[in-house]
Structure 1
């Protein structure tokens, strides 16, 4: 799995840039347009959070675990809109501090190893984008990817009552994924080999599941699938809107961009890691159907 250092790069090093671009409770996962791209990004993100909340049957009496909570947009939604009790977990110190500053109950903790004695049990659990970081390239190469996911569902089983629901939103590899050996940052720009190599650099310690089937298979026998939908097209639009927000002028934000220039010039690995600001390798992966994006709702049997 991506360790704390990996996630601190992705979500802490440029934490302030994210928040200055997208707000204090920045929603850094695919929104839900359902084909209506006239919606604003904020409206589509709220629609996503409403969909998750309704899918998990969350109300004012619900106790909810927000795994890999990011800057807390889902926790913020369910506490403000539904009056639920939310506990959020992240491995990023920057995210946790930002959430706590904004009144959210968030801890720095690896959500794969949560036990009932840590926070008790929950009525519902959400993991929005977290699974993408659970399996490393090394674990995949060693043939342990399925075990990583099945272990995670055993953790969920201990935290939920019978009939309790779990929502997962995750990127997956899709039909045009290439062999790992073909990945090459020196390949033709925009090619599958190039953009997938950049994705590995951008998200160190992370390897995606091979389609939703891999996730669903490892949820058995304790969970049944309630609903499944692809958000690939929604994610393409989400990334397009993010790029506009990252580029929108803000003096403090652009000063932060300038502060990263020396590292960008001197550190080749860092240049690969921040390619997301330049060419959006994940957007290209969705467009070429190298990757897909799924919303999965499970119920404990």
Structure 2
């Protein structure tokens, strides 16, 4: 098929999203190579992302372009044949088995602490911030960490496990602000080395360790943005492993990106270039995994906050690119730009969510109601005397009803 005919096919596909080829709006595509149309039709999201990396097209507001594509549900209009292999591979094989546990560390988290220092907040927290009362990225990440600690009702002297501790920012925050002892585990050598230096003056131990090799008993356990690397074949294993290290009166807080649908693989471009062997869980998959293992105390959604977080990360990355480009080439810049801005579009379209689950082994005596009310009280938005009902565990949205 000729290029002009292929272009008309793409134009018809983009029409419901109000996106034009070489249009004058910020979200319109500016095409530099006519081969783009055949590449996208043959390889869908992988072709779209790779062609952007190759400089075949540009868009002033890539985040808004992706948001419009997803809101119009165009992502399901192209089905490349090779995608069947990708799907069946994820179904047939355990891509997150123990022998593969450290691949994500080498591929993504070990590529350079300088990159993440330039992109993230001052504590280097690589998960969604909490923005209801925050004006800066630093404030949003501090609010998120405080929310986590309050939900867990951390008390001085408690022993806490941080699964997927990153660069140690959350472990240091909990030890400093709440007087707890923390063990943090990560599969990234660079993260472990950095975190040990960051936390060397506090009761924090950092281990280079897969979650399946964790040791010891803990009063509280939290995991911020790590279960996205666990995989659908291992969700039940994860829950049982965590339960085995949590005291009977303990609490688990699980912070994760959530998928609106149950899937067994991730986006092909993300899997190849950003997060190999990753997978975003659905509510159904998580609930099935903790059924009979934990009692659900609370389920909060603030997925809308990830749009802002990702845009802040992108602005930091773009602003600091002159200090990074000696180490990373222009193709990396375009790859990372596509990663951050396309993901912002995904959350803006509400195709993915951010969930915080609070789970207990047998149920909290007297009921659980912490974290969100405390945050509201600090900002003068909540009065216990005006509460109509107890803070009922919310599924999918923050459903505390305050008069």
Q: Same fold (TM over 0.5)?
A: yes
Q: Take 1:101 and 1:79, find their aligned partners in 2: how far apart are those partners?
A: 15
TM-superposed deviation, 1:97:
0.6
How far apart are residue 122 of structure 1 and its match?
Answer: 0.2
Q: Spell out the pairing of 1:141-220 with structure 2 (5 A cutoff).
A: 145=232, 147-174=233-260, 196-201=267-272, 202-209=274-281, 211-220=282-291
Q: 1:80 to 1:198 in 2, by over 3 A?
A: same
Query: Matches of 1:113 and 1:22 in 2, distance apart?
Result: 29
Cross-structure match for 1:186:
none
Task: Look up the match of 1:64.
Answer: 160
Q: Which runs of 4+ in 1 moved over 4 A?
A: 177-180, 276-279
In structure 2, the partner of 1:105 is 205
Q: CA deviation at 1:7?
A: 2.2
Asked whether the 8 Å contact 1:69–1:127 carries over to 2, the reply is: yes
Task: Tell me: higher relative CO, structure 1 or 2? Use CA pairs within 8 A at least 6 residues apart.
Answer: 1
Superposition RMSD on alpha carbons, in Å?
2.4
Candidates 322, 327, 333, aligned match of 1:259 = 327
Q: CA deviation at 1:179?
A: 9.6
Hey, what's the Cα distance between the residues in 1 that align with 2:357 and 2:157?
23
Provide the residue aligned with 1:230 in structure 2: 301
State how far apart, in whole Å, the 1-side matches of 2:293 and 2:130 are.
28
Report how far residue 255 of structure 1 moved: 4.2
1:1-301 aligned within 5 A = 1=96, 3-22=101-120, 25-34=123-132, 36=133, 39-102=135-198, 103=200, 104-114=204-214, 118=215, 120-135=216-231, 145=232, 147-174=233-260, 196-201=267-272, 202-209=274-281, 211-249=282-320, 254-261=322-329, 264=331, 274-276=335-337, 280-301=341-362
Q: Which residue of 2 aligns with 1:187?
A: none
User: Residues 162 and 93 from structure 1, CA distance in 2 versus in 1: closer, same or farther, beyond 3 angstroms?
Assistant: same
Query: How far did residue 278 of structure 1 move?
Result: 6.1
Structure 1 stretches lacking a partner, 5+ long: 136-144, 184-195, 265-269
Which moved further from structure 2: 6-15 or 154-163?
A: 6-15
Would you say how many aligned residue pairs link Structure 1 and Structure 2? Answer: 259
Residues 97 and 275 from structure 1, CA distance in 2 versus in 1: closer, same or farther, beyond 3 angstroms? same
Separation (CA, whole Å) in 1 of partners of 2:311 and 2:333: 21
Q: CA deviation at 1:52?
A: 0.7
Structure 2 stretches lacking a partner, 5+ long? 1-95, 363-403
Q: Aligned-pair distance for 1:283?
A: 1.4
Which structure has the bigger radius of gyration?
Answer: 2
Which of the pair is proportionally richer in helix? 1
The residue number in structure 2 matching 1:189 is none
Provide the C-alpha distance between the structure 2 equivalents of 1:179 and 1:271, rounded to a whole number of angstroms: 29
| 3-state SS of 1:162 partner | strand
Contact 2:311 / 2:340 at 8 angstroms: preserved in 1? no
SS in 1 for 2:185: strand
Alpha-carbon offset, residue 161 of structure 1: 1.3
TM-score, structure 1 length as denominator? 0.79
Give the CA deviation at 1:26: 0.3
Could you tell me how far apart the structure 1 residues matched to 2:323 and 2:135 are?
Answer: 31
Q: Does the 8 Å contact 2:225/2:257 carry over to 1?
A: yes
Task: Tell me the distance in 2 between the aligned counterparts of 1:156 and 1:53.
Answer: 18
Q: SS where residue 207 of structure 2 aligns?
A: strand
Shift of 1:170: 0.8
- How far apart, CA to CA, are the structure 2 residues paired with 1:173 and 1:235? 14
